[in-house]
C-alpha cells in the first residue's frame, strides 16, 4: 500500500480530521471568534425542566454539529470503500443515542448512581447488539477505532507537550516492564501447554501491547493460522470488556487518585478504546465521589501517557522482532525476509496526530501566562476541542457495545484461555503495584 | 524459487480487503479495525489457511487473470 495509506487507512483520516478541527478552532480563535457554538454539549441539569429548556435552546447547535460530523466522516468513509447508504443511517442512530448518553452524563447525580457515560454507552450498546439485534449493514457506522483515534488526536490538543516530555519516560519505563513480563508469561505458559508458537506470540502481543490491534499486527507478521486469529481476538475482547468495569470499580473501592487509577488502567487495559472508556468513567468520579482526589483530566492524561506513549508506539518493533523470530526460529515464513520498514508501516500513525496537536497547543500556550491562558484561551479554544473529543469518545464507546456480540466470538479453548489469563492477571497485579505503590506520588500529582 | 513479483499481494489466493477481514475475523471491529495502519496489507491466504504479510512468498502463487480475478 505504501503512501496510499495517507488516504486508505483510518489512522491518517483521524489525523486529517482531528488536526483539521484543531487548526480551524485556532483560526476562529485567532480572528477573535470561537467554535464554541458548534462544539455544544448539554449543561449540567438536576430537573427535567432544566433539561428540556437547555435541550430545546440548543437544537440548532446539535443539528449543525451533527451535520459537521456527518460530512467529515461520510467523505472519509466513502474513500475508505464503505457505502454511504449504509453509513449515514447508521451514524444517525449513533449520534441520537450519543446525545442521550451525554445528556444522562450531565445529570447532577449521574456519578452517584454510577451512570458514567462510557459505561452507560457500553452497556446500552451491548444490550442492543446481544438481546435486540441490528441489521449487519449498520456496522458500517459503528467504527470504534476511527472514532477513538479521532478523539485521541483531539485529546492531544488538551495535553501539554511539556507533560508528554516530562512524564513520557516514566510511562515508557513502567509500561515496558509490564509489557515484557506479560508477553513472556503468556508466551511461555502457552508453549508449556503445547500451543503453537505463532498463536502464543499473537496472544502475547494482544495481552501485552495493544489488544486486538497488536494481535492482528503480530499475527500477520508471524503468519498465524487463519483459525487462530479469531481466538486471539475473542480472548482480548472478553478480557478488555471485563476490565472496563473491573478496573474503575476496584479503583473506586480503594479510593485511588484519578492519576493513579488512569496509570493502572493504562498499564492493564489492552485496547485503547476500552481503556479510554474505563479512564473517562473513573475521571468522572473526581469531585463527585467522596475520597477520590485529582481531576477528571488526570485520569485521561495518565492513561494516555501509559497506553499511547508507553505501549502503542512500540507495536511496530514488537511485530518486526516477532517476524524475525518466526522466520529464523519457527521457519513459518516463505522467502520474504522481514524488513525494518515494517516498524514504520505498522506504526499506529494516529499517535503522530496526537503529538502534533499537543505541540500546536503548547506553542499557542507559550505566548500566555498560566493565568491568562486559563482565562483567555481555555474557554474559547481548549474547551470546545475537549467537547468535540467527548462526542468522538461517545460515538466510540457506544460502538464498542454495538459491535461486541458475544455469541459470535470464537470459542477460545481452555489452554488458550489459561495462557492468556495468566498473563492478563500478572498484568493487572504488576500494573497496580507500579501505579499505586512504586510511582504513586508521580501519578497522583501528574501535571501539577 | 518464488520471486518478489510472486508475493501474496499479487496472488489470487490472497484476500486482504478490510471489510472481508472484518467479516471473517469476528470481533475484529469491536476493538480494532481492518483499516488500521498496524495491519499493513496483511491478509488471508485461502490456499494455506494462514493470516500472512502481503510480502510473503511461496510456491503456491497464482497470478490474477486478465480480468483481475
Distance CA A303, CA A167 (A): 12
ipTM metric: 0.90
Distance CA A310, CA A275 (A): 14
| Region of A2 on the Ramachandran plot (φ > 0 left; ψ -120 to 50 alpha; else beta) | left
Q: How confident is the model at residue B3 (pLDDT cuts 50, 70, 90)?
A: low
Q: How confident is the model at residue B1 (pLDDT cuts 50, 70, 90)?
A: low
Please report the pLDDT score of residue A448 as a whole number.
75
In 3D space, the residue among A343, A337, A325, A302 whose CA is nearest the CA of residue A441 turns out to be A302
Give the mean pLDDT of A20-32. Answer: 96
B38:A213 CB<8 A: yes
Given 3-state DSSP classes, what are the helix, strand and coil percentages for chain B, each rounded to the nearest 5?
30, 15, 55
Distance CA A384, CA A378 (A): 9
Cell of A165: 516530555
Per the CB < 8 A criterion, the answer to whether A149 and A11 are in contact is: yes
Per the CB < 8 A criterion, the answer to whether B11 and B62 are in contact is: yes
Distance CA B27, CA A128 (A): 16
Please report the pLDDT score of residue B7 as a whole number.
87
Regarding predicted confidence, which is higher, B2 or A26?
A: A26
Please report the pLDDT score of residue A447 as a whole number.
78
B38:A217 CB<8 A: yes
Which chain B residues touch A10 with a CB distance below 8 Å? 33, 35-37
Given 3-state DSSP classes, what are the helix, strand and coil percentages for chain A, each rounded to the nearest 5?
75, 0, 20
Which chain A residues touch B18 with a CB distance below 8 Å? 80-81
Q: How confident is the model at residue A349 (pLDDT cuts 50, 70, 90)?
A: very high
Residue B64 near chain A (CB below 8 Å): no
Please report the pLDDT score of residue A436 as a whole number.
95
Which chain A residues touch B52 with a CB distance below 8 Å? 220, 223
Please report the pLDDT score of residue B66 as a whole number.
66
Looking at residue B13, the DSSP 8-state letter turns out to be: T
A211:B2 CB<8 A: no
Distance CA A234, CA A445 (A): 36
Whole-number percent of chain A with pLDDT over 70: 98
Q: How confident is the model at residue A2 (pLDDT cuts 50, 70, 90)?
A: confident
Which chain A residues touch B31 with a CB distance below 8 Å? 144-145, 211-213, 236-237, 240, 270-271, 273-274, 400
Please report the pLDDT score of residue A400 as a whole number.
95
Q: What is the dihedral of CA A350, A181, A426, A225, to 10 degrees?
A: 70
CA distance A204 to chain B (A): 16
A404:B41 CB<8 A: no
Whole-number percent of chain A with pLDDT over 90: 80
Q: What is the dihedral of CA A302, A303, A305, A310, to 10 degrees?
A: 130
Q: How confident is the model at residue A330 (pLDDT cuts 50, 70, 90)?
A: confident
Q: Where are the alpha helices (DSSP H) in chain B?
A: 18-24, 28-31
Give the mean pLDDT of A178-192. Answer: 96
A408:B41 CB<8 A: no
Please report the pLDDT score of residue A123 as a whole number.
94
Q: Which residues contact A422 (CB under 8 A, 6 or more apart)?
A: A185, A186, A189
Q: How confident is the model at residue A321 (pLDDT cuts 50, 70, 90)?
A: very high
> In 10 A of CB A236, how many CB atoms?
31
Cell of A67: 451535520
Q: How confident is the model at residue A224 (pLDDT cuts 50, 70, 90)?
A: very high
Task: Give helix A211-222 / helix A197-205 axis angle, nearest 10°.
Answer: 150
Regarding predicted confidence, which is higher, A307 or A333?
A: A307
- For B59, name the nearest residue in chain A, comparing CA atoms only: A334
What string of DSSP letters covers A72-112?
Answer: HHHHHHHHTT--HHHHHHHHHHHHHHHHHHHHHHTBTTTTT
Task: Give helix A161-192 / helix A258-268 axis angle, nearest 10°.
Answer: 40
Q: Is the pLDDT of residue B25 over 70?
A: yes
Q: Is the pLDDT of residue B2 over 70?
A: no
Q: Is the pLDDT of residue A28 over 80?
A: yes
Residue B60 near chain A (CB below 8 Å): no
Question: What's the predicted TM-score (pTM) here?
Answer: 0.93
Domain coverage including residue A159: 2-444
Q: Is the pLDDT of residue A402 over 90?
A: yes
Please report the pLDDT score of residue A362 as a whole number.
92
Least confident of A179-188, A247-256, B59-68: B59-68
**Cα radius of gyration rounded to whole Å, chain B:** 13
Q: How confident is the model at residue A335 (pLDDT cuts 50, 70, 90)?
A: low
Please report the pLDDT score of residue A176 as a whole number.
94
Give pLDDT tens digits for A405-439.
Answer: 998 887 778 899 999 999 999 999 999 999 999 99
Distance CA A160, CA A335 (A): 46
Least confident of A157-161, A263-267, A326-330, A385-389: A326-330
Least confident of A90-94, A115-119, A195-199, A222-226: A115-119
Q: How many domains does chain A have?
A: 1
- Taking the domains of chain B in order of start, what are their residue ranges? 4-52
Nearest to A348 among B1, B18, B37 (CB): B37
Give the mean pLDDT of B57-63. Answer: 85
Amino acid at each position: 500500500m505504501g503512501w496510499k495509506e495517507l488516504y486508505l487507512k483510518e489512522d491518517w483520516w483521524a489525523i486529517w480530521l482531528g488536526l483539521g478541527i484543531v487548526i480551524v478552532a485556532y483560526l476562529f480563535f485567532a480572528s477573535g471568534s470561537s467554535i464554541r457554538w458548534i462544539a455544544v454539549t448539554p449543561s449540567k441539569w438536576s430537573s427535567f425542566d432544566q433539561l428540556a429548556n437547555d435541550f430545546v435552546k440548543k437544537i440548532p447547535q446539535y443539528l449543525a454539529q451533527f451535520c459537521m460530523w456527518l460530512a467529515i466522516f461520510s467523505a472519509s468513509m466513502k474513500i475508505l470503500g464503505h457505502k454511504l447508504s449504509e453509513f449515514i443511517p447508521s451514524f444517525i442512530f449513533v449520534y441520537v443515542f450519543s446525545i442521550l448518553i451525554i445528556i444522562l452524563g450531565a445529570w447532577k447525580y449521574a456519578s452517584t448512581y454510577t451512570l458514567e457515560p462510557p459505561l452507560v454507552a457500553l452497556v446500552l450498546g451491548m444490550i442492543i447488539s446481544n438481546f435486540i439485534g441490528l441489521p449487519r449493514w449498520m456496522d458500517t457506522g459503528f467504527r470504534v477505532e476511527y472514532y477513538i483515534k479521532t478523539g485521541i488526536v483531539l485529546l492531544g490538543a488538551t495535553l501539554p507537550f511539556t507533560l508528554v516530555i516530562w512524564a513520557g519516560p516514566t510511562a515508557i519505563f513502567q509500561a515496558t516492564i509490564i509489557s515484557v513480563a506479560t508477553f513472556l508469561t503468556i508466551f511461555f505458559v502457552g508453549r508449556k501447554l503445547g500451543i503453537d508458537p505463532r498463536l502464543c506470540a499473537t496472544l502475547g502481543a494482544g495481552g501485552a501491547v495493544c489488544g486486538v490491534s497488536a494481535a492482528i499486527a503480530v499475527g500477520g507478521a508471524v503468519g498465524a493460522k487463519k483459525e487462530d486469529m479469531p481466538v486471539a481476538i475473542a480472548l482480548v475482547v472478553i478480557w478488555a470488556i471485563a476490565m472496563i468495569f473491573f478496573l474503575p470499580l476496584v479503583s473506586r473501592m480503594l479510593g485511588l487518585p484519578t492519576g493513579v487509577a488512569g496509570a493502572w488502567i493504562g498499564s492493564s487495559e489492552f485496547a485503547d478504546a476500552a481503556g479510554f472508556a474505563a479512564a473517562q468513567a473513573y475521571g468522572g468520579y473526581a469531585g463527585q465521589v467522596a475520597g477520590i482526589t485529582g481531576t477528571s483530566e488526570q485520569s485521561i492524561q495518565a492513561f494516555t501517557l501509559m497506553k499511547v506513549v508507553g505501549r502503542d508506539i512500540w507495536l511496530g518493533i514488537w511485530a518486526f522482532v516477532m517476524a524475525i523470530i518466526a522466520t529464523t526460529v519457527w521457519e513459518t515464513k516463505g522467502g520474504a525476509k522481514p524488513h525494518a520498514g515494517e516498524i514504520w508501516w505498522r506504526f499506529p500513525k494516529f499517535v503522530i496526530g496526537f503529538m502534533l496537536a499537543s505541540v500546536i497547543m503548547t506553542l499557542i500556550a507559550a505566548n500566555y501566562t498560566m493565568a491568562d491562558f486559563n482565562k483567555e484561551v481555555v474557554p474559547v479554544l481548549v474547551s470546545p476541542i475537549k467537547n468535540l473529543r467527548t462526542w468522538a469518545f461517545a460515538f466510540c464507546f457506544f460502538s464498542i457495545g454495538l459491535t461486541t456480540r458475544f455469541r459470535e466470538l470464537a470459542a477460545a479453548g481452555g489452554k488458550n484461555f489459561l495462557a492468556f489469563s495468566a498473563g492478563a492477571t500478572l498484568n493487572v497485579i504488576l500494573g497496580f503495584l507500579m501505579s499505586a505503590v512504586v510511582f504513586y506520588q508521580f501519578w497522583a500529582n501528574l501535571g501539577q | 524459487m518464488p520471486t518478489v513479483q510472486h508475493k501474496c499481494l499479487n496472488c489470487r489466493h490472497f484476500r486482504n480487503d478490510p471489510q472481508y477481514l472484518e467479516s471473517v475475523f469476528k470481533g475484529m471491529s469491536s476493538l480494532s479495525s481492518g483499516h488500521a495502519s498496524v495491519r499493513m496489507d496483511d491478509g488471508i491466504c485461502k490456499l494455506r489457511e494462514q493470516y500472512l504479510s502481503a510480502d510473503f512468498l511461496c510456491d503456491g502463487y497464482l497470478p490474477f487473470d486478465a480480468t483481475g480475478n
